[in-house]
Amino acid sequence: MKGRFITFEGVEGSGKSTNIAWAADYLRSAGIEVLQTHEPGRTKIGEELRTVLLRTRDERLMPMTELFLMFASRMQLLEEVIIPALIRGTWVLCDRYVDSSIAYQGGGRALGVERVKTLIRAMGDRYAEPDLTVLLDIPPIVIPDRLADRPLDRFESEETSFFERIRQTYLELAAEEPRIEVIDATLPLKSIQEQIAVLLDVLVNESSNE
């Protein structure tokens, strides 16, 4: 793969959409071709799955159903969009990826981290390992303020303990995985983006030396 693969993770309202758009502009201004995408969704099939996953309804979506639908959307996005872009040499910035399944379904829904890692291994040669994952860390108490001006989806309507488990799982994963860089996302955006720029500069310099 000639392109670089960078993922952004964190609980809702941690600033992923805001900072991924900023990072895409930052890389483009360095002359890099960038594709910005998100999970779940983005492909036609993925957007249908996203509707099933996010809509609040009177029938419970079982945690294992949720897990498999996240992976179904992911495989469609990888095969249709991400892998072809990386092969072309385009850098891909993705808002959420496998670490979201580990944190939300493994931790939040208590399905277990190992069960989710088994599914990641089952992706085999269709799994693209991120070169860098930016984990925007906020305590769940900050979430309601960040989401105050929009209607809540099925995940956002969960109680605080759900987001505490997610945050804890993310932080444990970050302690194990050197590709994951944790940034305190309660800081002002300018400070967060200065830290992201340092991380991106490392990848840009590495790839220009290849």
CA distances (Å), 88 to each of 5, 116, 203, in order? 12, 29, 17
Residues 12-51 that bind ligand Z5A (CB under 6 A): 12-18, 38-40
Query: Which CB, 30 or 189, lies closer to ligand Z5A?
Result: 189
CA distance 151 to 170: 25
Please answer whether residues 33 and 90 qualify as being in contact, where contact means their C-beta atoms are separated by less than 8 angstroms: yes
The verdict on 85 binding ligand Z5A (CB under 6 A) reads no
Query: Which CB, 19 or 83, lies closer to ligand Z5A?
Result: 19
Minimum CB–partner distance for residue 168 and ligand Z5A (Å): 15
Please answer whether residues 58 and 45 qualify as being in contact, where contact means their C-beta atoms are separated by less than 8 angstroms: no
Minimum CB–partner distance for residue 108 and ligand Z5A (Å): 7
Q: Pick one of 4, 5, 6, 10: the residue that binds ligand Z5A (CB under 6 A).
A: 10
The verdict on 80 binding ligand Z5A (CB under 6 A) reads no
CA distance 23 to 5: 13
Query: Which CB, 186 or 207, lies closer to ligand Z5A?
Result: 186
Residues 108-147 that bind ligand Z5A (CB under 6 A): 146
Tell me how far the alpha carbon of residue 67 is from its chain's centroid.
15
Residue keyed to tokens 């379904």: 105
* Listed residue (71, 204, 41, 189) closest to 132, CA to CA: 204
Q: Pick one of 137, 156, 172, 181: the residue that binds ligand Z5A (CB under 6 A).
A: 156
H-type alpha helices, 60-156: 63-77, 83-88, 98-100, 113-122, 143-146
Please choose, out of 56-64, 78-86, 153-161, 197-205, the segment that lies near ligand Z5A by the rule CB under 6 A: 153-161
User: Site residues (CB under 6 A) for ligand Z5A?
Assistant: 10, 12-18, 38-40, 70, 95-96, 100-101, 104-105, 146, 153, 155-156, 185, 189, 192
